[in-house]
Chains A and B, each alone.
Chain A
Amino acid sequence: MVKNAPILIPVVYLTACLVIALIRPRFRHFAYPVTLVAVSLASAISIGMLCLVIQYGIMRYQFGGWVPPIGIEYVIDPLSGFVLVVINAVACLVLIHSLNVNKVEMDQRLVPYYAVVMLFMLGLNGMVLTGDFFNLFVFLEISSLAAYGLIAVGSKGSAFAAFRYLILGTVGASLYLLGLGFLYLKTGSLNMADLAAIIPFVQPQKDPALIIALVLMTTGICIKMAIVPLHGWLPDAYTLAPSVTSSLIAPIGTKVAAYVLIRMLFGVYGVDVISREFPITFVLGWLAAAGIIYGSVMAIAQTELKRMLAYSSVAQVGYIGLGISMANPLGLIGAVLHVLNHAVMKACLFLVAANLRIQTGHSDISRFDHTYRVKMPWTMAAFTVAAISMIGLPPLAGFFSKWYLALGAIENSQWIFLGVILVSSLLNAVYFFRIIEKVYMKSPGDHAAKEEPAVKFGSVEPALSMLVPTIVFAVLLIGLGLFNALIVTRLILPMLPPGM
């Protein structure tokens, strides 16, 4: 049983997908419980595996008994175990939240929607589980195709946003595949561990093909990760997608791409190649830094909450990219910790946006006033906590990832990056306090005369299925902040690649 644990997660998701697809439209409300069972099972399995990996070391699962590099294998090491827990646990809470949201936003399409959600989760989990680059491409395509579908069912314009994402996403995947082709030609292997052993002998600094492979694959993944200037698909996709889709994709979608980047750069090519012999991290660092500033500035300019959060995601992914680019332990700790912290923060914020949309029919910042706080005190409290964490004030979670990133920047004497990290905190403060100020202080009289606020349920706190996950995320932020040292020493330090 334990030996077969790695394959269980894909099996669970695939089964759930098939079961949901078979549900007749009349019984469409059964799709939700089936989804929940699947995602909670997957969360439990991933937590269990992480514990095992921390205790007993890396777990490997070989398909059909074929020994790699001939066969495909799944590898659970501390890094992939950690990312698995993050994506499944966050998705679990988000999907619990989805009950009422989906009833309102797409009542007739529940069955296909949840089926595609399961495919999406299957894709993401597969990308993290696999130890094989080509297998990773397959899962990448599964998750991407599912994501296009999940986005396209949204409001007006979402089909266009999904199409744009499809074009860019396909370009990214193709670049990745092309790079992989070079890699395979030169080394004859697709297995990550195998490649890591071969590459030092091929001497990438003397072989342009390997460098081209590195560049192509990195570019492809950066599109998926939405590193500026390859982020064009993200703002529209997050804004126009249905609420559940954006709160599902925003926290975990880009994180898996970040995971693949870490895997490829540090796990396969190694620190020496990427930072000294062919400093691709130099380019990545500057792009990430530019992305942090660009995303934050654009977020300030937005008047719609979800779009603001989308640009904020562009900035936050920049932090992760920046941490990776530092290629030192502290930077990598910051990046991995930020994968976790940002997943929780963004999930919390997108759930708040969903709560607002369901309860009041909009998430337009200019229409916020203090009745929102009076009617929805808990939602707004959660928003405030997440916002303060995003700004990066201690002792909330967001501070600590920035703290490690700052330490990493100092270690590399990258003073400009240190400045970027600090300045972006201020920019974050600008766009979040703008909302907090409105919600806690603006009197409703200012615009009540002009328009009748569109109210569906009556503006009160949403149903418990929506409120509880939102608050759980907010509480998690405090917990993750206080106990970050535990996470870093127990979980993140063991995953640092050799050579650091």
Chain B
Amino acid sequence: MNDLTYISYIPLWAVLVSLAAVPLILMSSRKPNLRETWTLLAAGIKFLLVFSLLPGALEGKSAVIGLLEISPGVDLALKADPFGVFFALISSGLWMFTSIYSIGYMRGNREHKQTRYFASFAVCLSATIGIAFSANLLTFIIFYEILTIATYPLVIHKETREAIRGGRQYLLYTLTAGLLLIAAAAWTYMATGSMEFKAGGFFEGTELSSAAMTTLFFLFLGGVGVKAGIMPLHSWLPTAMVAPTPVSALLHAVAVVKAGVFGVIRVVGFVFGPEVMAAHGLNIILAVFAATTIILASLLAFKQENLKRRLAYSTVGHLSYIVLGAALLTPSGFTGGLMHIATHATMKITLFFCAGAIYINLHRENISQLNGIAKIMPWTMAAFVIGSLGLAGVPPVNGFVSKWYLAMGALEADQLVVLGIFILSGLLNAGYFFPIIHRAYFRKGEGLKGHKEASALMVVPLVATALLSVLIGLRPDLFFHIFELAGGIARSITGVVP
């Protein structure tokens, strides 16, 4: 076991670098350019630090660092295992794009309190990386709660009545979830004497009855399921769309919700473990919730007139793809689910960037107002098309790759129903995205004269993430070795070579 871990401070620096940027950001609130420099600098350094952990993660090694004893016998400890590196890589990588985009968005919209915005964003990223690198449940909870609190100022950023209501709902859901998670962690600790995440789980050989096991699983599910948007715990997410678009893009498509999904996989693969899950039928509970969410969210997405809300429901659906993939408990299922964390992130962030660019440029939020906008915003809409195609599962965009493995996982587990759900949902995705494309390209627009493409600070990031989506679709192992990493994690959880 020891040859699989090595001591390194890099995970700690990766967490702290954006936290260190916070005072700098606060101090330079009068000089916007300097302030944004700090954000970009922190984003860049953070990504490089995480990236430097990749070679070790590819060999299956984990960088560990114990900081201090936070509760007798439990350390505040960071462990950059392959799964953590995988998630951290995606979050920190996309933070760079979002930072550039944020500058364009916030200045384009002349938003107030930008300093608070950038500072909170930096704290969020610290918490996200902390979640990724948490070595045990208690550390996980600490960063999980920090993420909750740090996201709150971003959700209520507009300070309108609607934003404050959204913020209250957000807090109600996420704080309750945090409490359930605390209860679950405490119970786990009392039952097993451990909180250390371990590939394959650490619940084997405990004396809990099946009923207690199921209750405990529901506590965990309530804890991480809220951020993962599993129905019926999803309704904070569409409400939280009152936040500025970059927040929706990074946090509500990547960092926060993926932290929830990350938590689900941690619980499934690293706390309970596939064998215990299967032995107590917990995977079936999870699969039923996830499958229902996929279908319902896709159907609800049709009803949404507001572009961002439609994207939010689409996010809810896609998050459950990942959960469903994990619930299959097969190597390909895990691989597909993990891949979907990455692929959905790049695609959905592109779509949100597009929605934000349209909003800043034309002040239009509703789908019915999007007629003919492709003529004036060709780059934005091209990126939107790529993202939509990807989410519907059309090759060569990366959504195809993850769906392929999810489908394989369903076949491995002999779950034809699950396969059917994936296919049906792909069609539904096409159903709710293509009308938008149709309007943008083939209908005549009104009142578009005098408007041009959005500012380069927004267009460049969204085109870049769209290209990234295609690139990952064509060569998943290019640069970041996402596929290799996902496969390795799936092997470590299931103990099977896919």
Contact = CB atoms under 8 A, between A and B. Distances in A.
Interface of A: 388, 391, 393-395, 399-400, 402-404, 406-407, 410-411, 418, 422, 425-426, 429, 433, 437, 440-441, 482-486, 488-489, 493
Contact of A395 (B142, B156, B175): B142
Contact of A406 (B69, B142, B167, B186): B186
Contact of A422 (B70, B168, B179): B179
Nearest to B70: A485
Contacts of B153: 440
12 contacts: A388-B149, A393-B149, A395-B70, A395-B142, A395-B146, A402-B182, A422-B180, A437-B156, A441-B156, A484-B70, A485-B70, A493-B72
Contacts of B146: 393-395
A485 B69 CA distance: 6
Interface in B185-230: 186-187, 189-190
Given A406-B183, A407-B186, 12 more contacts: A393-B145, A393-B175, A411-B190, A418-B183, A422-B179, A422-B183, A433-B168, A437-B164, A440-B153, A482-B70, A485-B69, A485-B71
Contacts of B175: 391, 393, 425-426, 429
A394 B187 CA distance: 17
Contacts of A391: 175
Contact of A403 (B71, B164, B180): B71
B288 to A, nearest CB: 25
Interface string B111-146: 000000000000000000000000000100110011
A441 B164 contact: yes
B365 interface: no
A403 B68 contact: no
Contacts of A488: 71-72
A488 B164 CA distance: 39
Closest CB pairs A-B (n = 6):
A485-B69, A394-B142, A422-B179, A406-B186, A393-B145, A410-B190
A13 to B, nearest CB: 35
B129 to A, nearest CB: 16
A407 B192 CA distance: 13
B123 to A, nearest CB: 13
Contacts of B148: 393
Q: Looking at B68, B172, B186, B187, which has the most chain A CB atoms within 10 Å of its CB?
A: B186
A410 B187 contact: yes
Given A418-B183, A422-B182, A441 B159 contact: yes
Given A393-B149, A394-B142, A395-B142, A406 B164 contact: no
B487 interface: no
Contacts of B187: 410
B109 interface: no
Nearest to A413: B190
Chain B contact residues: helix, strand, loop or mixed: helix
B426 interface: no
B68 A483 contact: yes
A493 B69 CA distance: 15
Contacts of B176: 426
Most buried by B among A388, A393, A399: A393
Contacts of A484: 70-71
Interface string B39-79: 00000000000000000000000000000111110101000
Contacts of A418: 183, 186
B185 to A, nearest CB: 9
A168 to B, nearest CB: 34
Nearest to B156: A441
A462 B180 CA distance: 40
Contacts of B142: 394-395
Contacts of B156: 437, 441
B178 interface: yes
Contact of B72 (A399, A406, A485): A485
B141 A407 contact: no
A334 B74 CA distance: 16
B68 A406 contact: no
A418 B189 CA distance: 14
B256 to A, nearest CB: 16
B421 interface: no
A403 B182 contact: yes
B164 A407 contact: no
A402 B182 CA distance: 10
A423 B186 CA distance: 15
A218 B167 CA distance: 44
Interface in B139-175: 141-142, 145-146, 148-149, 153, 156, 159, 164, 167-168, 171-172, 175
A143 B483 CA distance: 70
A404 B189 CA distance: 11
Nearest to B145: A393
- The interface centre, meaning the residue of B70, B142, B148 with most chain A CB atoms within 10 A of its CB, is B70
A407 B179 contact: no
A429 B141 contact: no
Nearest to A443: B159
Contacts of B171: 429, 433
Given A388-B149, A393-B178, A394-B142, A485 B68 contact: yes
A150 B155 CA distance: 45
Contacts of B68: 482-483, 485
A391 B171 CA distance: 12
B262 to A, nearest CB: 18
A388 B175 CA distance: 11
A309 B175 CA distance: 21
Contacts of B145: 393-394, 399
B179 A426 contact: yes
A393 B70 CA distance: 14
Interface in B68-99: 68-72, 74, 76
Most chain B C-beta atoms within 10 Å of own C-beta, residue among A410, A486, A489: A410
A223 B376 CA distance: 74
Contacts of B141: 394
Contacts of A404: 71
A410 B149 CA distance: 27
B404 to A, nearest CB: 40
A493 to B, nearest CB: 8
A403 B74 CA distance: 12
Given A406-B186, A407-B189, A411-B190, A425 B179 contact: yes
A430 B496 CA distance: 47
Most-contacted residue by chain A among B68, B71, B167 (CB, 10 A):
B71
Contacts of B149: 388, 393
A411 B70 CA distance: 20
Given A391-B175, A433-B171, A406 B71 contact: no
A410 B72 CA distance: 17
B224 to A, nearest CB: 16
A99 B141 CA distance: 41
B72 A403 contact: no
Nearest to B73: A485
Contacts of A394: 138, 141-142, 145-146
A402 B138 CA distance: 13
Contacts of A482: 68, 70, 76
Contacts of B138: 394
Contacts of B172: 426
A222 B37 CA distance: 58
A406 B71 CA distance: 13
A371 to B, nearest CB: 14
A175 B29 CA distance: 61
A441 B178 CA distance: 25
Contacts of B159: 441
A410 B219 CA distance: 14
A436 B187 CA distance: 32
Nearest to A404: B71
Nearest to B160: A441
Contacts of A399: 145
B70 A406 contact: no
Nearest to A419: B183
Contacts of A403: 71, 182, 186
B374 to A, nearest CB: 38
